[in-house]
Amino acid sequence: MRAILRKEFGGPEVLEMREIPEPEPRDGQVVIEIKAFGLNHAELHMRQGEWAEIADVSGIECVGLVKSCPSGEFAEGTKVAALMGGLGRTINGSYAEYTRVPESNVAAINAELSWSELAAIPETFATAWTCLFRNLEIREGQTLVIRGATSAFGQAALKMAVNAGVNVIATTRNCERFSLLETMGAFRTEIETPKLSEVIAEAKQIDAVLDLVGNSTFMDSLNMLRRGGRVCLAGWLGGLDPIPDFNPLLQMNSGVYLSFFGSFVFGNPGFPLSDVPLQQIAEDIAFGKYSAKPTRVFRFEEIQEAHRVMEANQANGKMVVVI
């Protein structure tokens, strides 16, 4: 089968197409014929050699058809999504024509959507749903701030929160993106700044913050909450530098909640992929409740160009590759 591997660590030019053996069926696992996969910044860091665990074949998510499943959990030909479970990290991932994934990280997903639209759903929408409805426990009528809302993750969270009747304040570093966020349903947009809590009108009244900027802003996110408010830290658009001299006793307000979510836990006990209503999400998208159309669609052979666009931060949303 064809797969994309690295010649070495480096820029997009290190990615090349090769022929490697097709994965064989194993108990407890599913072999998937990949039709499309989403692109993620994690794969950029893997390519650059910045990730601790890196498999030969990158890619942490995909959609496709079941080729084999020894347990019978998924019938041959079933349309499925797969994510995490070591994909691209400890086992060969989705940058290939076939992959083999633990059953716990596979979910049936069937809707009147193209492969490219389906490929925009798994990682991004599963993570956004979990952050919103599990970590933050958002409810209709609440006010939510999404920091880093123009990212693919941020856009998915914005769409889902608006669909749930939540009032969303969306932040971006680029005021030219205000109209995009407002079109998606944000009732207001703000320029992202490390001191947002000092200028936002709703300071100390915010119910929840989904912080995708990361370590440079999450203390500020805590400062804008009402008592009982929640922050979920789930992204690092601002970089991976650690927080200097973090002291909760002196820096955190009493009565607020801070949580973290990393999608690498999907499929583990306590975080079953079955907890995420991927099928319902796909149906909602097909029915037009919100959109999951990718901003760019690349062919398998265009993987280097796709990584160049991602590395230049020109994606403007979710990008996918169709095989």
Q: Are residues 253 and 236 in the same domain?
A: yes
Q: Are residues 154 and 246 in the same domain?
A: yes
Where does a domain end: 232, 261, 290? 261
Q: Are residues 204 and 313 in the same domain?
A: no
Give mean pLDDT, residues 44-59.
90
pLDDT at residue 291, rounded to an integer? 86
pLDDT at residue 176, rounded to an integer? 82
Q: Are residues 162 and 244 in the same domain?
A: yes
pLDDT per position as a tens digit, 1-31? 999 999 999 999 999 999 999 999 999 999 9
Q: Are residues 100 and 185 in the same domain?
A: no
pLDDT at residue 213, rounded to an integer? 92
Q: Which CATH number covers residue 247? A: 3.40.50.720
Q: Which CATH number covers residue 299? A: 3.90.180.10
Q: Are residues 158 and 249 in the same domain?
A: yes
**3-state SS of the chain?**
CEEEEECCCCCHHHEEEEECCCCCCCCCEEEEEEEEEECCHHHHHHHCCCCCCCCCECCCEEEEEEEECCCCCCCCCCEEEEECCCECCCECCCCECEEEEEHHHEEECCCCCCHHHHHCCHHHHHHHHHHHHHHCCCCCCCEEEEECCCCHHHHHHHHHHHHCCCEEEEEECCHHHHHHHHHCCCCEEEECCCCHHHCCCCCCCEEEEEECCCCCCHHHHHHCEEEEEEEEECCCCCCCCCCCCCCHHHHCCCCCEEEECCHHHCCCCCCCHHHCCHHHHHHHHHCCCCCCCCCEEEEHHHHHHHHHHHHCCCCCCCEEEEC
pLDDT at residue 52, rounded to an integer? 78
Domain extent, residue 240, equals 124-261
pLDDT per position as a tens digit, 170-216? 999 888 888 889 999 999 999 999 999 999 999 999 999 999 998 88
pLDDT at residue 134, rounded to an integer? 96
Q: Are residues 137 and 191 in the same domain?
A: yes
Q: Are residues 131 and 174 in the same domain?
A: yes
pLDDT higher than threshold 80 for residue 71: yes
How many structural domains are present in the chain? 2
Q: Are residues 129 and 251 in the same domain?
A: yes
pLDDT at residue 251, rounded to an integer? 78
Q: Are residues 59 and 129 in the same domain?
A: no
